Structure 1
Amino acid sequence: MRNPSFEFARAVTRRPAASIVEGLRAKDIGTPDLQGMLAAHDAYVAALRSTGAEVTVLDALAAYPDAQFVEDTALCLPQGAILMRPGAPSRAGEVAEMAPTLRALCEDVREIRGPGHVEGGDILVTGKEILVGRSDRTDAEGVAELAKIAAEWGHTLREVFTPEGVLHFKTDCSLMDGDTILSTKRLEASGCFEGYRVLHVPEGEEAAANAIRFNNLVLMADGFPRTAELLDKAGYEVVQINNRDCAKLDGGMSCLSLRF
């Protein structure tokens, strides 16, 4: 039986546009390079496809410099998809661009209507619940509306809190299997993962915490050898992807796909 928290038949991604140079970032650590980002995106899609999943690659959207970070636009569950309501005003239009694709692929599509906001980067689906982190992009009203929809589909949702200065909840954590989470020490210290097996990202490699378990693989950013070794020793098959240009836009492995 398929485990819906990390075993997937489909994924949706979107090609980066030349407008990435105008993308949002909490801190300016350099200008992303389009060719570098496209090459990394191709490697990412190839890794997803290597597991046997069907991957939809949508065209770039020049009007939305952050549109390649499709995860923030929706939450996909076995019952259907829930369209999000981003907290960043410049990203609001991305949801309408994603909606037709999800309506074609999912039997039931709901939406967060507001007034609250919630972004997919703050949502971690585990083997037993949906964890949603409050952040600068996800507020209490958004979490409450999402919880109501999730409950109608039989899911338990638990609100947690993202540490100060961390963009999204999943900036600092990722699911490795149904009950194992890779996390920074600062996030795990909040107590939000009680009852789970937690693997701590090594000191100095906190940016490696945003990874994804996709079928038999764990996709993680390259350049973090101690995290890669940790996951390898824990029995996971690791694929390392160049994330240097995405990181300049606060992006990581989970941000680049919708998985269902």
Structure 2
Amino acid sequence: MTTKDTSWQFSRAITRQPGKSIVAGLRAVDTGTPDLALMLRHHADYVAALRETGADVTVLPPLEDYPDAVFVEDTALCLPEGAVLMRPGAPSRLGEVAAMAPSLRPLFDDIRQIEGPGTIEGGDILTTGREVLVGQSARTNADGIAELAEILAGWDRPLREVRVPDGVLHFKTDCSLLDGETILATERLARSGCFEGYRVILTAQGEEAAANAIRFNDLVLMAAGFPGTAQRLRDAGYQLREIGNSECAKLDGGMSCLSLRF
């Protein structure tokens, strides 16, 4: 494993435009039908923010057969050593991995795949400079984590399994990496002690949905509408881009879900 922490420094990203079928996307609670036109505007703002850092950003076309395909992060784990194709826990999303693979193969010399029977999604994986944290959730199970651990061991990447709080879809629903030593997290997740040894910035009270952000080079991209958490991050010295996320939020999606970063 490289000694320099590059866990938040990227030169490339892959995103996918949402399609018309997004209205049929999975959701834990129905809070309304996503507005595709508004989601497209938010998605364009997201891509623009990534490109602002100098990154090469690929925008793939919609996959109408897969309503949740905009959430590309769940399809793969991208590391300097190689990429690992995931095996989603939602059966309706299994085909998204095969659709993503051709975009990754020209960019990585080493590509592995979770074969199963276990399941694992990228939304449950937080990569830091010292370890790969993986949350066991409704979408990611022990068998999937064990298979990933075996792959990462060959790359000298330690994996640590953690528990996702009840009622939380993915591990990164409640946390994100801000730099090599700092995690943004909800109080309910931080209380578990899983971030011992890291500096933790808590989301403001009632703003738990702000925890899913991304540090992308010099910027922290976070969902708009969480002023308390935004102020905490500014006070800590981070440069923010607040991006509309109202429509993705209806499908339990956030900032990290919308890109593969490497």
Q: TM-score range by the shorter chain?
A: over 0.9
Partner amino acid, structure 2, of 1:151 = A
Quote the Cα distance in structure 2 between the aligned partners of 1:64 and 1:14.
12
Partner amino acid, structure 2, of 1:141 = D
1:239 to 233, 238, 241: 241
Q: 1:21-78: per-residue Cα shift (whole Å, max 9, x none)? A: 0000000011101110000000000000000000011000000000000000000000
**SS state of the match for residue 40, structure 2?**
helix
For the Cα contact (< 8 Å) 1:4–1:77, is it kept in 2? no
Quote the Cα distance in structure 2 between the aligned partners of 1:38 and 1:3.
33
Specify the alignment match of 1:50 in structure 2. 52
Structure 2 counterparts to residues 1-260 of structure 1, below 5 A: 3-260=5-262
Quote the Cα distance in structure 2 between the aligned partners of 1:198 and 1:47.
25
Quote the Cα distance in structure 2 between the aligned partners of 1:2 and 1:86.
31
For the Cα contact (< 8 Å) 2:186–2:208, is it kept in 1? yes
Shift of 1:3: 3.5
Q: Which runs of 5+ in 1 are unaligned?
A: none
Report how many residues are paired.
260
Shift of 1:104: 1.3
For the Cα contact (< 8 Å) 1:71–1:258, is it kept in 2? yes
Partner amino acid, structure 2, of 1:21 = V
Q: Which runs of 5+ in 2 are unaligned?
A: none
Higher deviation after alignment, 2-11 or 85-94:
2-11
What is the root-mean-square deviation of aligned Cα atoms in Å?
0.9
Partner amino acid, structure 2, of 1:248 = K
**SS state of the match for residue 163, structure 1?**
coil
Shift of 1:4: 2.4
**SS state of the match for residue 92, structure 1?**
helix
Shift of 1:136: 0.2
Partner amino acid, structure 2, of 1:96 = A
Partner amino acid, structure 2, of 1:100 = P
For the Cα contact (< 8 Å) 2:14–2:57, is it kept in 1? yes
Structure 1 stretches of 4+ moved >3 Å? none
Higher deviation after alignment, 114-123 or 102-111:
102-111
Identity of aligned residues (%): 68
For the Cα contact (< 8 Å) 1:172–1:209, is it kept in 2? yes
Q: 1:122-149: per-residue Cα shift (whole Å, max 9, x none)? A: 0000111000000000000000000010
Quote the Cα distance in structure 2 between the aligned partners of 1:81 and 1:68.
19
Shift of 1:2: 6.6
Partner amino acid, structure 2, of 1:13 = T
Quote the Cα distance in structure 1 between the aligned partners of 2:136 and 2:178.
22
